[in-house]
Structures are given as structure tokens and as C-alpha cells.
Amino acid sequence: MSKAFTLALSLLSTPALADWQLNMNEGVTALSREIFDLHMLIFWICVVIGVAVFGVMFYSIFKFRKSKGAVAEHWHENTTVEVFWTVVPSIILIAMAVPATATLMDMYDTSEADVDIQITGYQWKWRYQYLDEDIDFFSNLSTPREEIVNESTKNPNYLLEVDNALVIPANKKVRFLVTANDVIHSWWVPHFAVKKDAIPGFINEAWVKVEEPGVYRGQCTELCGKDHGFMPVVVEVKSEADYEQWVADQKAMKLAMADEASKDLSMDELIAKGEGVYQAACSGCHQPNGQGIPGAFPAITGSAIATGAIDAHIDIIVNGKTGTAMQAFKEQLSAVDIAAVVTYQRNALGNTVGDMVQPSAIQK
């Protein structure tokens, strides 16, 4: 007895138990707390009903058991009871709809937002466009491949880290316009209590007003293909001043990128840069070693395109190939990135074509 007690105590005090949180998050916004409170209210109503219904049921089963000589009664109907158990749940449902409607109306009130951001789901990355700021970037998974294939220890944010996080200001109402480019995705950040389907051709709206700066993580939550589990969401909430600085930095970076695109790079520079671009943008399908997946994704090594005419090679990366999984990368990659990855694919992964292309030659 005392052994079992000690075991139970030690289990309860194990920190691992904290990971076994089954309830939803309270979140970090006024709205998420409102949703949490509603959830708890409905939960307790369900608990009370459950205890009452099962209590009566189990009591009846026990009290009127066969071994005590209970004999089943044969009767056809009891209209009073039937009306009671139909009308009472209806009243409970209507009563629950009142606070639920209040919360839903808050959730759908996307008016008077300070910042508007379009979120587009791609296979398998997110694109963030700041509608008032001319800021537009893609957010790719940044977990190293070694961790994914169990060659190194997984970090705490394993598969929940990206190269470019979505940055939003604290204490401002931020409106998200959620859509998709290829298949249905769903943008989900549990701490914001925001989970919105991203559907091609539709724009769904959500909003958030976070009080505290911090980093909040989420995932795609609509099965969207091979790398569905590899397109996380990371949102960095900055103080207002930091956010303004970030916006200024992004604009300066854009100018610098345009400047870089007009410069010529050496073969080595292009290949070095191209390797990073390849691993981030291409290796998901064509595989890190360029061998592809036979029957699904063609190999880059020895491919007719990657070893053939360079213009056709550039074209398939810029415009994609209709009817296949090959996307158009003109909006996802800069001219420098495209020039680098084309040069890399032609002169690495087992290919030795020997030619290269400069960013200035990429027509998007």
C-alpha cells in the first residue's frame, strides 16, 4: 500500500507530467482567454450532465439488478418523460448558444485593424504579405536535416522553427487574410486561439491582439501533402518600437537585394549560395542528394533539364510545370537565389555542365 502511494506521489511530481496537458491553452490574448473560458463553461456543463445521466444509469443498473430479483416492466410510452428529455436539452443548448454567440461575434469582428497581413499557404511553406508595407516573404522550415534523419539531437523547437518568422506588433489589432496557392492548408497558432483554413480562391479572416512580446509557434493543421508536418508557423511579437525598426530593416534589405541582383557573382559564390537555396526550396521533393523519388519526383542528377539548355532550366524554375508538382518559384525566390540554384544544380549533385547564370539574366 505504502509502495503504491510512494509511486503515485513520485509520478505526480515528475516534471514530465507537465507535458501531458490535455486541456486547451489559455493563450496570450484577451480573445483566446475568452474562448478558453467559454470552453471551460461548456466543459463543466457537460460534466454535470454526464455525471447526472450516468449516475442515474449506473444506479439503476445496480439497484435493479437481476440477482436481486428485478423484473423488467413492459410498457410502450411515457409522453411526459419523452417531452421532458427532449425539451430540457433544447433549453440547455439554447442557453449555451448565448455566450458562444458573444465569443463568435468577437472572433469574427476583424474591423478596424491596425495591420493587415495576407497569409498564403504553399506546399510546404507560408507566405506573408504586409498589405500596407510592401513587405512580402516566405517562411520555410529551418530545422536542420540532420535532426530530422536522427543524425543529431533534436532541439526543443524541432519542426517548430522557420527561417523568416511572421513579425507583428504587440498591442495592435492585426488582421490575417488567410488563403492558399495550391491545396487546402490551415494556419494555426494555439496561443492566439487562431486556426483558419487556407483555401485556394477564398480569403478567410482572423485577427489577433497580443499583449506581450514573445515568440509563438504553431503548425499547418490541414493535411496538405508530403511535407505537411514540415511547414510550421512562427510568430514573433515585437514591441511597437521594435516592430517599426523591423519594418525599416525589411525595406532596407529589399533595396539591398535589388542592388545585389544587379551585381555579377563568381561561380563559387553562386554554387555556395545555391546549395542553401536548394536545401530550403528543392530538396523536399528532389531530395538532398538530388536523386529524387522514382515515380514521384524526378532526379536532378543527370536530369535532361539540369544538364540541357540553361534557358529551359531557368524557365522551369521560374514558371513551374503545369500538371506536375513543380511549382513556379518566381515569387518565392529572388533573382539571385534562382541564378544561384540553377548554377548549383548544373555543377553539383553529380552534374558537371560547367556553365552558370548571373542574377541580372533572370527574367521574372
Decide if residue 101 touches another protein (CB under 8 A): yes
* CB-based contacts of 49, cutoff 8 Å, min separation 6: 92
Q: Which is nearer to another protein, 97 or 258 (CB)?
A: 97
Decide if residue 289 touches another protein (CB under 8 A): no
40, 52, 102, 309: which one contacts another protein (CB under 8 A)? 102
Going by C-alpha positions, the residue among 125, 36, 67 that lies closest to residue 332 is 125
- 325 and 353 Cβ atoms separated by less than 8 Å: no
Query: How many CA atoms, within 13 angstroms, populate the side-chain half-sphere of residue 237?
Result: 20
Going by C-alpha positions, the residue among 282, 265, 355 that lies closest to residue 316 is 282
Count the site residues for another protein by CB under 8 A: 14
Least distance in angstroms from the C-beta of 248 to another protein: 40
Q: Which is nearer to another protein, 89 or 229 (CB)?
A: 89
Q: Which is nearer to another protein, 101 or 289 (CB)?
A: 101
**Choices 4-12, 95-103, 197-205, 348-356 (CB under 8 A): range interacting with another protein:** 95-103
Decide if residue 77 touches another protein (CB under 8 A): yes
**Choices 92-100, 116-124, 220-228, 354-362 (CB under 8 A): range interacting with another protein:** 92-100
Decide if residue 86 touches another protein (CB under 8 A): yes
Rounded alpha-carbon distances, angstroms, from residue 149 to 152, 159, 166, 182, 301:
8, 12, 27, 27, 22
- 217 and 157 Cβ atoms separated by less than 8 Å: yes
9, 45, 52, 83: which one contacts another protein (CB under 8 A)? 83
Please classify residue 140 by burial: count the beta carbons closer than 10 Å to its beta carbon, then call 0-12 exposed, 13-18 middle and 19+ buried: buried
Decide if residue 91 touches another protein (CB under 8 A): no
Hey, which residues between 103 and 142 contact another protein (CB under 8 A)? 105
Q: Which is nearer to another protein, 64 or 84 (CB)?
A: 84
Q: What is the rounded CA–CA span in Å between residue 267 and residue 279?
A: 18
**Choices 75-83, 146-154, 211-219, 354-362 (CB under 8 A): range interacting with another protein:** 75-83
Least distance in angstroms from the C-beta of 25 to another protein: 24
Q: What is the rounded CA–CA span in Å between residue 343 and residue 353?
A: 9
- 169 and 239 Cβ atoms separated by less than 8 Å: yes
Relative orientation angle of helices 79-107 and 30-63, to the nearest 10 degrees: 160
Least distance in angstroms from the C-beta of 79 to another protein: 5
Relative orientation angle of helices 240-261 and 335-347, to the nearest 10 degrees: 60
53, 56, 57, 82: which one contacts another protein (CB under 8 A)? 82
Least distance in angstroms from the C-beta of 83 to another protein: 6
Read off the amino acid at residue 253.
M
Write the DSSP assignment of 208-249 as a string of letters. Answer: E-BSS-EEEEEEE-S--STTGGG--EEEEEE-HHHHHHHHHH
3-state secondary structure (DSSP) of residue 199: coil
Hey, which residues between 167 and 186 contact another protein (CB under 8 A)? none
Hey, which residues between 13 and 72 contact another protein (CB under 8 A)? none
21, 67, 79, 111: which one contacts another protein (CB under 8 A)? 79
Q: Which is nearer to another protein, 18 or 98 (CB)?
A: 98
Per CB under 8 A, residues contacting another protein are 76-77, 79, 82-83, 86-87, 90, 94, 97-98, 101-102, 105
